[in-house]
């Protein structure tokens, strides 16, 4: 089981590929929904997030460490700017971690 937060609160799951939830560290459906949810939240624009999320998944989410990760607004803004999308840096921190089971 995983937990993903933004500034300490649960990140809303934008369901497109994975009805069962988020994941990271590879290129599947859970990482695709995580990428989409992060971008939709950060940008406030689901249409643009849907256009970019697969590339974001491969560039960022697939590389997250298995046990957990932290992603800042500055890192997201830099990634977007590399693609020619001018955005302001938002003061947000996204964090994912695996929860102990059992």
Domain range list for the chain: 2-98
Q: Would you state the structure tokens that stand for residue 43, as one six-digit string?
A: 């940008």
Burial group, residue 37, by CB count within 10 angstroms (0-12, 13-18, 19+): buried
For the stretch 14-58, pLDDT in tens is: 999 998 899 999 999 999 999 999 999 999 999 999 999 999 999
The pTM of the full predicted model, rounded to 2 decimals, is 0.96
Region 96-101: mean pLDDT is 89
């Amino acid at each position: 089981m995983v937990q993903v937060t933004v500034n300490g609160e649960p990140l809303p799951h934008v369901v497109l590929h994975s009805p069962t939830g988020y994941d990271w560290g590879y290129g599947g459906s859970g990482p695709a929904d995580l990428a989409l949810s992060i971008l939709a939240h950060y940008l406030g624009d689901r249409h643009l997030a849907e256009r970019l999320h697969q590339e974001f998944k491969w560039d960022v989410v697939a590389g997250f460490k298995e046990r957990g990760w932290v992603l800042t607004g500055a890192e997201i803004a830099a990634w977007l700017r590399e693609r020619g999308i001018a955005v302001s840096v938002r003061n947000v921190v996204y964090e994912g971690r695996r929860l102990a089971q059992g």
